[in-house]
Amino acid sequence: MTAVIEPGALAPDLALIGVAERARAFCAEYVDGRAGDFERDAWIPAEVVAGLGAYRLWGAVLPKAVGGTGDGMEAFGDLHAEVGRACSSVRSLLTVHSMALHALERWGNAALKLRWREALIEGNLVGAFCLSETETGSDARSVTTTATPVADGFLLNGRKRWVTAGQIAQVLLVFARTPVGVSGFLVDADGPGVSREPVTELLGTRASMVADISFDDVFLPREQLLGREGMGLMLAVDALDIGRLSVASGSVGVIQAALDESLRHAAKRVQGGGPIFDHQLVQRLIARMSVDLQAARLLCTQAGRLKDKRDPGTINATCVAKYYSSTAAMRAAQDAVQILGAVGCGPGSTVARLFRDAKIAEIIEGSTQIQELLIAEAARQEHATRQR
Amino acid sequence: MLDSVSQTARSFIEPRLPRPVSDDEDFFALGTVNSLFAMELVLFVEDSFGTTVPDSELDLANFRTIGAITALVHRLSNTAGAVQAS
């Protein structure tokens, strides 16, 4: 009698494999070869979003000890690098979701955790991060959205811009001004008074389902305040720290993809009697990509390990990783387009998509220039310490 | 006798400041540290003293001075001790 192997019987046991391995399996099943379609459609299909849940990737920012599905922040970086290699837009969903889930775990009260934590870990609900406004970007102190105290809670009014996953998210991490100062709230995106407007024709991460979100007299029970009133800046820094590691790691994935595409093309494209890989000027570009890949990966690993140790140095290490990885991704994507030439500029070009996505990585979660300010200040402090 | 918590906190904080500060001096008011530093302070307290700063204590007032940080650590230690003893 012939043994029959049931469908799915050979699939990996998700309870036994690590988050990075689950990420690879998820990408192989749901994303590899489809990122161009996602970008063209400016949409990530529902089955891909569900696939992140099937592979238990939504909750990876939280350790298993608190009900999460992660293996620590170093592995969190590996996850975002792998998904970033396959598609920056999909990675961006994990970025903002992780920021919201981390904020809930770190700053939320018991009632709020009971209401939303499990659903966010499982991916039954998607989270998003709402800080930017028309006149508010990196300077979180300048938010104009207001949360006015009323009986038993607050009334939220204002408009947030450039909200990644804003078209589909159900739980929003929103920063608003109260009489005490900037404060953080979790908001039900499907509640009364919340409206969304899709943002289209973005330069990059076009499938990240960005929206502008307006709040019109949205009542927030007091339990939806995170931490305490006036602690919003610290809360934003904390969430952005998670986002920066995600973007840094996703940029590692972009460099990997650019290198893969460059090597594939350089091996088969013949000019001057041989493959263009044989040209030393092409090899120089490849070499720089390869070194950048290794350096960026090491910086992300360092930032993740310091997070796992709860070492205060992780804040600066994450800025360094984000700064280096995102700028290196831009270099790599630019060089990959150069190596592929006209093919790299044509419709449906993978490297053109990488180029567009890399530029976004240089801007979000603190632009390159903001990272430079922070890194320079940390260097000054370290220097002063050594001089004493 | 010098408080070892206070000394540990001072050794972490003062290198970030342009000049030494007294225990009750608000070093955020010096204008040379930012909100990133506030988050580093939370991690420093948790890492150095083996404690978790609960939601109810995540108030900037607990991190503005070396004295406030010292008081916070002692408060958290007493709470942990009380829990262990019960």
| β-bridge pairing A171-178 and A127-130 | parallel
- Rounded to an integer, the average pLDDT of A39-50 is 97
> Is A47 one of the catalytic residues?
no
A75-123 per-position pLDDT tens digit: 999 999 999 999 999 999 999 999 999 999 999 999 999 999 999 999 9
User: What's the confidence (pLDDT) of residue A6?
Assistant: 62
> How far apart (Å, rounded) are the C-alpha atoms in residues A94 and A116?
16
Closest residue in A to B38 (Cα) is A234
- Rounded to an integer, the average pLDDT of B35-52 is 85
Q: Which chain B residues contact residue A102 at CB under 8 A?
A: none
Interchain pair A381, B55: CB under 8 A: no
Mean pLDDT lowest among A15-19, A144-148, A149-153, B45-49: A15-19
Asked if A357 and A328 touch (Cβ cutoff 8 Å), the reply is no
Closest residue in B to A380 (Cα) is B16
Asked if A321 and A303 touch (Cβ cutoff 8 Å), the reply is yes
The DSSP annotation for A145-178 comes to -EEEEETTEEEEEEEEEEETTTTT-SEEEEEEEE
Interchain pair A231, B60: CB under 8 A: yes
Q: Which chain B residues contact residue A385 at CB under 8 A?
A: 15
Residue A14 in this model has a pLDDT that exceeds 80:
no
Residue A125 in this model has a pLDDT that exceeds 80:
yes
Interchain pair A312, B43: CB under 8 A: yes
Which phi and psi (to 5°) does residue A311 adopt? -80, 130
- Rounded to an integer, the average pLDDT of A158-180 is 97
A183-226 per-position pLDDT tens digit: 999 999 999 999 999 999 999 999 999 999 999 999 999 999 99
Interface test with B, best of A322, A372, A381, A388 (most B CBs within 10 A): A381
User: What's the confidence (pLDDT) of residue A270?
Assistant: 94
Asked if A182 and A141 touch (Cβ cutoff 8 Å), the reply is yes
- Comparing CB atoms, the residue among A227, A314, A385 nearest residue B15 is A385
Q: Helix, strand, or coil here: A265?
A: helix
Counting residues of chain B whose pLDDT is more than 70, the rounded percentage is 88
| β-bridge pairing A146-150 and A225-226 | unpaired
Q: How confident is the model at residue B85 (pLDDT cuts 50, 70, 90)?
A: very low
> How far apart (Å, rounded) are the C-alpha atoms in residues A333 and A261?
10
Residues counted in chain B: 86
Cβ contacts below 8 Å, chain A against chain B, sum to: 53
**What value, to the nearest 5°, has the Cα angle with vertex A130 and ends A125 and A133?**
155
Q: How confident is the model at residue B16 (pLDDT cuts 50, 70, 90)?
A: confident
Asked if A215 and A187 touch (Cβ cutoff 8 Å), the reply is yes
pLDDT higher for B15 or A260? Answer: A260
- Rounded to an integer, the average pLDDT of A162-175 is 98
The count of C-alpha atoms lying within 13 angstroms of the C-alpha of A154, restricted to the half-sphere facing its C-beta, is: 27
User: What's the confidence (pLDDT) of residue A351?
Assistant: 98
A328-369 per-position pLDDT tens digit: 999 999 999 999 999 999 999 999 999 999 999 999 999 999
> How far apart (Å, rounded) are the C-alpha atoms in residues A236 and A229?
13
User: What's the confidence (pLDDT) of residue B81?
Assistant: 58
User: What's the confidence (pLDDT) of residue A383?
Assistant: 84
Residue A298 in this model has a pLDDT that exceeds 50:
yes
- Rounded to an integer, the average pLDDT of B32-50 is 83
Task: Please tell me if residue A309 touches chain B, with a CB cutoff of 8 Å.
Answer: yes
> How far apart (Å, rounded) are the C-alpha atoms in residues B55 and A274?
64
Q: Helix, strand, or coil here: A197?
A: strand
Residue B1 in this model has a pLDDT that exceeds 50:
no
Q: How confident is the model at residue A11 (pLDDT cuts 50, 70, 90)?
A: low
A244-260 per-position pLDDT tens digit: 999 999 999 999 999 99
- Rounded to an integer, the average pLDDT of A24-31 is 97
Interchain pair A231, B15: CB under 8 A: no
Q: Which chain B residues contact residue A388 at CB under 8 A?
A: 15
Task: Please tell me if residue A231 touches chain B, with a CB cutoff of 8 Å.
Answer: yes
Residue A5 in this model has a pLDDT that exceeds 60:
no
Closest residue in A to B11 (Cα) is A385
- Rounded to an integer, the average pLDDT of B42-61 is 84
Interface test with B, best of A237, A372, A387 (most B CBs within 10 A): A237
pLDDT higher for B62 or B86? Answer: B62
ipTM of the predicted structure? 0.70
- Comparing CB atoms, the residue among A109, A374, A381 nearest residue B15 is A381
Q: How confident is the model at residue A3 (pLDDT cuts 50, 70, 90)?
A: low
Closest residue in B to A239 (Cα) is B39
- Comparing CB atoms, the residue among B15, B34, B58 nearest residue A388 is B15
Asked if A225 and A174 touch (Cβ cutoff 8 Å), the reply is no
Interchain pair A231, B58: CB under 8 A: yes
- Comparing CB atoms, the residue among A140, A228, A312 nearest residue B58 is A228
Among A261, A365, A372, A382, the active-site one is A365
Ramachandran area for residue A338 (φ above 0: left; ψ -120 to 50: alpha; else beta) = alpha
pTM: 0.90
Q: How confident is the model at residue A386 (pLDDT cuts 50, 70, 90)?
A: confident
Interchain pair B40, A384: CB under 8 A: no
